[in-house]
Amino acid sequence: MKNPLARGAYLAILAVAGSVLALAGCTNLQHSRDWSNENVPGTVLVQQVCSTCHGIDGQSVNTLFPKLAGQQKEYILSQLESIQNRDRNSEHTRQFMWGPARYLTSKQMDEIAEYFSSQPPMKAGRGSALASTRGQTIYYEGIPEAGVDACASCHEDKGQGDGVVPRVAGQHQYYLNHRARIAMALILANASDADIAAVSAYMESIGEGGATPQVVKASVDKSKSKAKIGKVLDASTAPGPAVFDAKGDPKTCHYSVWTYGWYCGSFVDALVYHLKNQ
Ligand code: HEC
Ligand code: HEC
């Protein structure tokens, strides 16, 4: 490169190429589908990855995919954590969610949870057509003869949820019905399939634009259930007990309504811890 002019031109080209590359890099970050890149903002992942199944506004269409619109922020965070550390381990979770959740950083999780929880709440949908007075009765009064507590005592009067207790109003009937025996195994142990289907339909029907919840306040024994979830809600703000994994690294623990015990890392850990400490 003897000619100084040519050298200058060459450097200028390099500089331009450099800034184009830098811009391209920046653009990619804003359009990235890269699950494993910690620099991609949570809201970009929402657009590029999560919206495929959950909808850009969290109003998913396919009833296999839960709506996330207006879902409780703490609940979204607690699920993303338990999906990432594989405590949430059902077939559908493994199949569809272990991939997308695998590399999320806590910053990305927080941005995603903030985004979905701020969207207008879930709309009532097709499953509402199955709603019945039986479903409504179970929601507000439980099934006393089967030892099933009123759902409203934790999921709240209008199904809006509370912290780590999820919003259920407007959620797909199909999804709720499927998840009920997994997420609420203890509470629903003696409920029939027909009753679970009925209450799931009722919950979908009280979403936005759907039926007005006919709250039966007198029959909801909140104090009894609150005594149970009191611990759950406390645990979401207070740090869990100090538990260490095989490498000696501390783990974050959560209180679980599945076992009514601390849930640290794996289900087995949780049971062992629970049995030792009860
Ligand atoms: C291929 C489809 C698909 C993609 C992509 C996807 N999800 Fe999911 N997601 C699902 C399914 C299916 C479930 C329900 C799994 C089950 O039944 O346990 C789910 C469940 C969830 C839940 C739990 C909701 C609840 O009510 O318990 C959260 C939170 C969630 N997804 C967030 C995300 C986020 C954040 C992303 C993007 C990083 C994402 N999902 C990408 C299909 C998907
Ligand atoms: C003691 C409090 C409590 C009561 C009573 C209760 N729930 Fe729940 N429910 C919860 C909590 C907490 C979760 C989240 C569990 C988790 O994090 O795995 C949940 C989760 C669920 C889910 C999963 C939602 C999702 O988005 O995946 C369904 C479905 C559900 N409950 C249905 C019911 C029904 C139906 C009743 C009444 C018959 C009921 N629950 C009563 C506390 C309660």
Of the listed ligands, the closest to the CA of 167 is 2
Of the listed ligands, the closest to the CA of 256 is 2
Cβ of residue 172 lying under 6 Å from some atom of ligand 2: no
- Which residues of the chain form beta strands (DSSP E)? 243-244, 250-251, 253-256, 261-264
Of the listed ligands, the closest to the CA of 159 is 2
Question: Do residues 202 and 125 lie in contact, with contact meaning Cβ atoms separated by under 8 Å?
Answer: no
Question: Do residues 49 and 80 lie in contact, with contact meaning Cβ atoms separated by under 8 Å?
Answer: no
Residue 16: per-residue pLDDT: 43
Select from 137, 173, 187 the residue to mutate for testing ligand 2; criterion: most ligand atoms less than 8 Å from CB: 187
The HSE-up count of residue 66 (CA atoms within 13 Å, CB side) is 21
Distance 28 CA to ligand 1 centre (A): 24
Whole-angstrom Cα distance, residue 75 to residue 242? 22
Question: Do residues 148 and 191 lie in contact, with contact meaning Cβ atoms separated by under 8 Å?
Answer: yes
What's the pTM? 0.80
Question: Do residues 54 and 60 lie in contact, with contact meaning Cβ atoms separated by under 8 Å?
Answer: yes
- What's CA 84's distance to the chain center, in Å? 12
Distance 51 CA to ligand 2 centre (A): 24
Residue 248: per-residue pLDDT: 45
Cβ of residue 93 lying under 6 Å from some atom of ligand 1: yes
Q: Which protein residue has the closest C-alpha to ligand 2 atom 40?
A: 151
Residue 133: per-residue pLDDT: 92
Question: Do residues 92 and 66 lie in contact, with contact meaning Cβ atoms separated by under 8 Å?
Answer: no
Cβ of residue 232 lying under 6 Å from some atom of ligand 2: yes
Cβ of residue 59 lying under 6 Å from some atom of ligand 1: no
Least confident range from 60-64, 96-100, 214-218: namely 214-218
Q: Between the ranges 150-154, 234-238, 268-272, where is the mean pLDDT highest?
A: 150-154
Q: Which protein residue has the closest C-alpha to ligand 2 atom 30?
A: 180
